Chains A and B, each alone.
Chain A
Amino acid sequence: MTTEVVDMITVVIDGFEVSVPKGTLVIRAAEKLGIQIPRFCDHPLLDPVGACRQCLVDIEINGRPFPKPQASCTIPVEPGMIVKTQLTSPVAQKAQEGIMDFLLVNHPLDCPVCDKGGECPLQNQAMSTGRGESRFEGKKRLFDKPINISSQVLLDRERCVLCARCTRFSEQIAADPFITLNERGALQQVGIYQNQPFESYFSGNTVQICPVGALTGASYRFQARPFDLVSTPSACEHCASGCALRTDIRRGKTLRRLAGDDPEVNEEWNCDKGRWAFKYVTALDRITNPLVRDSSGELREASWPEAIAAASLGLKGKRVGVLVGGRTTVEDAYGYSKFARVTLNTNDIDFRSRVSSDEERDFIASHVVGTSTTYRDLDRADHVLLVGFEPEEESPIVFLRIMKHVRKRALKVSAIATKLSRGNEKLQAIFIAVAPGSEAEAIAKIELTAKSVILVGERACESAGTLSAVVALAGRTNAKIGWIPRRAGEPGAIATGAIGNLLPGGRPVSDPAARVDVATAWGVDSLPTSAGKNSDQIFASAKTGELDALVVGGVDPLDGALASEALLALDRAFVVSFEIRPSAVTSRADVVFPVASVTEKSGSFMNWEGRSRLFESAVEGSLQRSDVRILSMLADAIGKPITLNTVKSAAKEFATLSKWDGARASFTASNSKNISVTSDEAILTSWRRLLDDGSLQEGEVNLAGTARKSVVVISPKRASALGVVDGDNVKVSNTQGSIILPVLVENIHDDAVWLPRKSRGAHLLETLGSASGTLVKVGKA
């Protein structure tokens, strides 16, 4: 760890000395002493604005007093500074009381019906440092209340104290200035432009930082009183950014989730999906009891012993493939990994329930597992190169971190992508347009330094040779690679060996020493020696009967490259499913085990950095049916125990295996394949949007209302050839199916056509059997 030399400055606040780094604001130096100066506009992650004037204090420097009280949120400490807050200065106290008096002039004082009541900085500070009673007897300004500024955020302008936290957040942090201050003077108000709702992926943060009840979330409005809620620190299950969250529960039901404060990861922010997509947990169709397919072919509820016995019977001594899914906790993934090897004696395990490749599997084993690229590397980077990765859509907190440095120090960002995205526009990225399949050529031309970071998304595997080019670039320049998958469980699944070529700790299956290591730890004689099948091969083998059975975690078969094959495989094989809600897998399963959702169990995720994100069960009295516990019971029944009876025991055992000093797997480069196109064809390209038809967002209508509209994106050249303009319908088709959507003419490679991968009206894998890199026809609809 490097230590940076920081100039410290000592100041006296209310008679107490405190030393803080140069540049620290007085308000924060006071916090260090435990002195709370009241404030509204101040927010440590936003630029100081000095607007609310609530934090006025008396200051003198080297014996020279300022003639009037100063806003402590805008003044950095200086040597010789003596600060007197409301605690020791009658002038500061009167100034603060005066400001509070003014703030209440136009505030409706409707606390009894306000969602913020009980956790409201205005209410609290009016009581702690205000006058208690307003002296204002006149007329208050009136506004219509509340107004929807998006389908998920409501604005009550009467309550607003115009601190501009929300507008500054939108501009400075999210780079989505869709809400602004409008009008002026006492009529100044937060607002949107009438034809552009507040559809930012980060809008929920404004609700959280609003110091009054002016901004509220549609889904939490009138739901609860803060003092009725039980709050639990938690970790977000949606993506690999790794946000710390706070989950607020009343009577076993999640009512809201807030961004947690983790300066090294999400700072104090999260995305709207992480905040507002949690109802799937309490969906009415949750599976609560085990299901067993009876002799008549019907799935019916069964007792646990019966279900365990049925599953055991179907798996014991059979050729089984294990599909883990990308959403498991580290502990559950470890359970699947050990279950496959010890109980099923196979390496046929893969967590990748998405389009994937063997080049990627090699890349993961050689360049992902055991490496450490972190947010800190982004903080220090001289250049960030994005390959097959749209941070705003696929890892929004990574986006915010890059955005922060673009804004503060003009960090250089380059994006090798098929289409220019709004996110990359906001990052002012140098856009290197490529045709799908030609990424490697573009990567070969990039220059980086050892301080640069290459952020690679899971989609990089969809063009052969791309990851090989990334490896070559990193080798040539010493730039760091950060591989960022979409799903929260993938990094943990890699670390625990829930993939056919790796054992826990990144030990290569092919390395005899590694196998011995793990076998010893697990108390077994040996482990299967050859690398296992990948998920496509597992489905294909199950379809042909080469595999008899499948153990399936949280997997949507329609997310993979072989969607239709997968369904046939599930129909044919004996399937044991671990699920929370009915799915295309459970409907075809022979045994279904109901598992706990994240709020009902403890455990941890590993984010893209490899950082552990521990969380406890948020629901009191939960049965904690984590997958690993059920796997352990099943292993006992089969007679090859894995002895992981609790999440804790799984965590503990994995910890002993999580490091490996031996050699990493080697990487063999692959070649890229250019695709040639005729005039009425285009190469399909797509990515998942943050808000789309993902299964964890089901039922969140307010959230869905802010999703970006489904469109087909083509280049101006193709648009003029087709004779279409923005908004015209076009048809994208291949032999499997077709999709018709309005067209958007944008900056995209001429040979490509882009659609959202799984948004309303565009489920590409289901409809076209492909999401990228294949030829489709594009025509006027």
Chain B
Amino acid sequence: MTKLTPVLSAHWDEKDSFTIEGYKRHGGYTAAAKALKMEPDAIIQLVKDSGLRGRGGAGFPTGMKWGFIPQGDNKDHYLVVNADESEPGTCKDMPLLLANPHVLIEGIIIGSYAIRAKYAFIYIRGEVTHVVRRVQQAIEDAYKAGHLGKNIFGSGVDLELVLHVGAGAYICGEETALLDSLEGFRGQPRLRPPFPAIAGLYARPTVVNNVESIASVPSIINNGAEWFQAMGTEKSKGMTLYSLSGHVANPGQFEAPLGITLRELLELAGGIRKGHQLKFWTPGGSSTPLFTAEHLDTPLDYEGVSAAGSMLGTKALQIFDETTCIVRAVLRWTEFYKHESCGKCTPCREGTWWLVQILKDLESGKGTEADLDKLLDLCSNIMGRSFCALADGAASPIVSSLKYFRSEYMEHLHNGGCPLDPQASTLFEKAGV
């Protein structure tokens, strides 16, 4: 008996799963119709009761976020969906939107109604043309069906939904940077307070939710909080998408209750690719400290991963086997953070610039053991010192890799370069091309 619980992905195997007809075939938009007959506060309470927590990485309770929006303030409210999915390793929201954009729209209708927003936005990363097409088409079809626009579902409620396409900036996944970007500025994080719930988009009360969080709402409305709570662990309720990638036999998406372990997931994915062993992995994207084989049985829920010294993040499980050079892997991630640093604050902007240079030297065997200590010292001057969490993420792989693989760094120095063959870690090692 498998532990998998496909809810969001339940009908992805149907050819027209992304169309409004395909969605409605399985009860699509009935949750919205139902919700619009409820009191908005009752919806917020239901989502609170369900225990749904943000699926974008931080795990903040979704219902509580909605509850922060001041009511009766005579201000415009906004719901903004964060579809900027860019954290290295993270690849759940894009296939979700490709296969079923309507579930997000339905969630938006419910969420907007709950927080009394008449305008909602989907901020989607710009490098996914076909996903943009699917979402755009779905929005247009939802308008035609009377699910968006004026007097939706004949309820008297109005809702405008705009798809806003990004243009290549990882930092826009940070919610306040996303809001600045959506307002037409450079996507740099804002000072908090004020928090978006008080002064978000256009300085109005705003909820920013991840795609998967909002997409989970229709099922909660239809099935109830208890149904959702029945899945998962004590403080991490419900099902979620785990994305396995890298050196596994069969990478892919696995929708399972929170708390499943990598050992269980690896079994489903056919294990590490044949003839190889697990070396290290990320539990939730590159910003979450690395795990090794010793963490195979760590429950992949918010508390379990955190107790083991990392973060659940986006549940992006990137699996690397013994052919992978840790220094190369870490250098690449560091280069990513350098490229994506917004430039606003000193430690992130200058720190990532510096870290890359040291790591490059180390990869090519230049430097001394003192450079490893310098790396750690620089990381300690970056972590918790920068404006937002991006730079914390940059330091994570470095610090955790030095914790588990310091000797491999040293080997580079003794060896005068990388002791491993990069060709061996490619998927086409044998074919050569």
Are B387 and A51 interface neighbours, CB within 8 A?
Answer: yes
Are B191 and A186 interface neighbours, CB within 8 A?
Answer: no
Q: Determine whether B103 belongs to the interface, using a CB cutoff of 8 Å to chain A.
A: no
Q: State whether A185 and B385 are in contact (beta carbons under 8 Å apart), knowing that A53-B346, A102-B351, A105-B350 are contacts in the complex.
A: no
Enumerate 19 A-B pairs (CB-CB under 8 Å) in ascending A order. A49-B191, A49-B344, A53-B386, A56-B385, A94-B381, A98-B347, A99-B346, A99-B381, A102-B347, A102-B349, A102-B350, A106-B350, A106-B353, A138-B358, A162-B344, A181-B343, A186-B343, A188-B344, A188-B349
Q: How far is the CA of A54 from the CA of B382 in the complex (A)?
A: 12
Q: Chain B contact residues: over half helix, strand or loop, or mixed?
A: helix
* Residues from 339 to 358 in B contacting A, C-beta threshold 8 Å: 339-347, 349-354, 357-358
Q: Which of A48, A69, A185 contacts B343 (CB 8 A)?
A: A185
Q: Determine whether A183 belongs to the interface, using a CB cutoff of 8 Å to chain B.
A: yes
Q: Determine whether B260 belongs to the interface, using a CB cutoff of 8 Å to chain A.
A: no
Which residues from chain B contact A139 at a C-beta distance below 8 Å?
357
| Contact-size category for A | 35 or more
Q: State whether A50 and B345 are in contact (beta carbons under 8 Å apart), knowing that A69-B384, A138-B357 are contacts in the complex.
A: yes
Q: Which of B191, B350, B358 contacts A50 (CB 8 A)?
A: B191
Q: State whether A67 and B353 are in contact (beta carbons under 8 Å apart), knowing that A184-B186, A184-B343, A186-B343 are contacts in the complex.
A: no
Q: State whether A186 and B350 are in contact (beta carbons under 8 Å apart), knowing that A50-B345, A139-B357, A162-B343 are contacts in the complex.
A: yes
Q: State whether A184 and B342 are in contact (beta carbons under 8 Å apart), knowing that A49-B191, A50-B191, A50-B387 are contacts in the complex.
A: yes
Q: Determine whether A74 belongs to the interface, using a CB cutoff of 8 Å to chain B.
A: yes
Q: Determine whether A161 belongs to the interface, using a CB cutoff of 8 Å to chain B.
A: yes
Q: Which of B344, B352, B354 contacts A136 (CB 8 A)?
A: B354
Q: How far is the CA of A162 from the CA of B339 in the complex (A)?
A: 17
Q: A69-B385, A162-B344, A185-B352 are in contact. List 14 more A-B contacts (CB 8 A).
A: A51-B387, A54-B346, A95-B381, A98-B378, A98-B380, A99-B346, A99-B381, A103-B346, A103-B350, A138-B354, A139-B357, A185-B343, A185-B353, A188-B343
Q: How far is the CA of A50 from the CA of B341 in the complex (A)?
A: 16
Q: Determine whether A52 belongs to the interface, using a CB cutoff of 8 Å to chain B.
A: yes
Q: Determine whether B24 belongs to the interface, using a CB cutoff of 8 Å to chain A.
A: no
Q: Which of B340, B358, B381, B387 contacts A102 (CB 8 A)?
A: B381
Q: Which of A94, A98, A141, A181 contacts B186 (CB 8 A)?
A: A181
Q: Determine whether B374 belongs to the interface, using a CB cutoff of 8 Å to chain A.
A: yes
Are A99 and B384 interface neighbours, CB within 8 A?
Answer: no
Q: How far is the CA of A24 from the CA of B387 in the complex (A)?
A: 21
Q: Determine whether A68 belongs to the interface, using a CB cutoff of 8 Å to chain B.
A: yes
Are B349 and A53 interface neighbours, CB within 8 A?
Answer: no
Q: Determine whether B142 belongs to the interface, using a CB cutoff of 8 Å to chain A.
A: no
Are A52 and B346 interface neighbours, CB within 8 A?
Answer: yes
Q: How far is the CA of A101 from the CA of B341 in the complex (A)?
A: 18
Are B347 and A53 interface neighbours, CB within 8 A?
Answer: yes
Q: How far is the CB of A39 from chain B (nearest CB, A)?
A: 12
Which residues from chain A contact B354 at a C-beta distance below 8 Å?
102, 105, 136, 138
- A180-192 CB mask vs B (1 if < 8 Å, else 0) is 0101111110000
Q: State whether A52 and B345 are in contact (beta carbons under 8 Å apart), knowing that A74-B191, A102-B381, A141-B353 are contacts in the complex.
A: yes
Q: Chain A contact residues: over half helix, strand or loop, or mixed?
A: loop
Are A51 and B346 interface neighbours, CB within 8 A?
Answer: yes
Q: Determine whether A135 belongs to the interface, using a CB cutoff of 8 Å to chain B.
A: yes
Q: How far is the CA of A185 from the CA of B340 in the complex (A)?
A: 7
Return the chain B residue nearest A95 by Cβ: B385
* Residues from 24 to 82 in A contacting B, C-beta threshold 8 Å: 48-54, 56, 67-69, 74
Which residues from chain A contact B382 at a C-beta distance below 8 Å?
98
Are B387 and A53 interface neighbours, CB within 8 A?
Answer: yes
Are A99 and B341 interface neighbours, CB within 8 A?
Answer: no
Which residues from chain A contact B385 at a C-beta distance below 8 Å?
53, 56, 68-69, 95, 98-99
Q: How far is the CA of A94 from the CA of B381 in the complex (A)?
A: 8
Q: How far is the CB of B337 from chain A (nearest CB, A)?
A: 9
Q: How far is the CA of A736 from the CA of B98 in the complex (A)?
A: 75
Q: Which 3 A-B pairs have the closest CB atoms?
A: A98-B381, A188-B343, A68-B384
- A110-145 CB mask vs B (1 if < 8 Å, else 0) is 000000000000000000000000011011010000
Q: Determine whether B269 belongs to the interface, using a CB cutoff of 8 Å to chain A.
A: no
Are A185 and B191 interface neighbours, CB within 8 A?
Answer: no
Q: How far is the CA of A414 from the CA of B381 in the complex (A)?
A: 52
Q: How far is the CA of A54 from the CA of B386 in the complex (A)?
A: 10
Which residues from chain A contact B386 at a C-beta distance below 8 Å?
53
Are B343 and A187 interface neighbours, CB within 8 A?
Answer: yes
Which residues from chain B contact A50 at a C-beta distance below 8 Å?
191, 345, 387
* Residue of A98, A102, A105, A161 ringed by the most chain B CB atoms within 10 A: A102
- A242-279 CB mask vs B (1 if < 8 Å, else 0) is 00000000000000000000000000000000000000
* Residue of B191, B344, B347 ringed by the most chain A CB atoms within 10 A: B344
Q: How far is the CA of A269 from the CA of B350 in the complex (A)?
A: 31
Q: How far is the CB of A70 from chain B (nearest CB, A)?
A: 10
Q: How far is the CA of A139 from the CA of B356 in the complex (A)?
A: 11
Q: Determine whether B117 belongs to the interface, using a CB cutoff of 8 Å to chain A.
A: no
Q: Determine whether B338 belongs to the interface, using a CB cutoff of 8 Å to chain A.
A: yes
Q: Determine whether B330 belongs to the interface, using a CB cutoff of 8 Å to chain A.
A: no
Q: Which of B169, B191, B346, B358 contacts A48 (CB 8 A)?
A: B191
Return the chain A residue nearest B380 by Cβ: A98
- A182-220 CB mask vs B (1 if < 8 Å, else 0) is 011111100000000000000000000000000000000
Q: How far is the CA of A718 from the CA of B384 in the complex (A)?
A: 62
Are A186 and B338 interface neighbours, CB within 8 A?
Answer: yes
Return the chain A residue nearest B348 by Cβ: A185
Q: How far is the CA of A239 from the CA of B296 in the complex (A)?
A: 75
Q: How far is the CB of A700 from chain B (nearest CB, A)?
A: 35
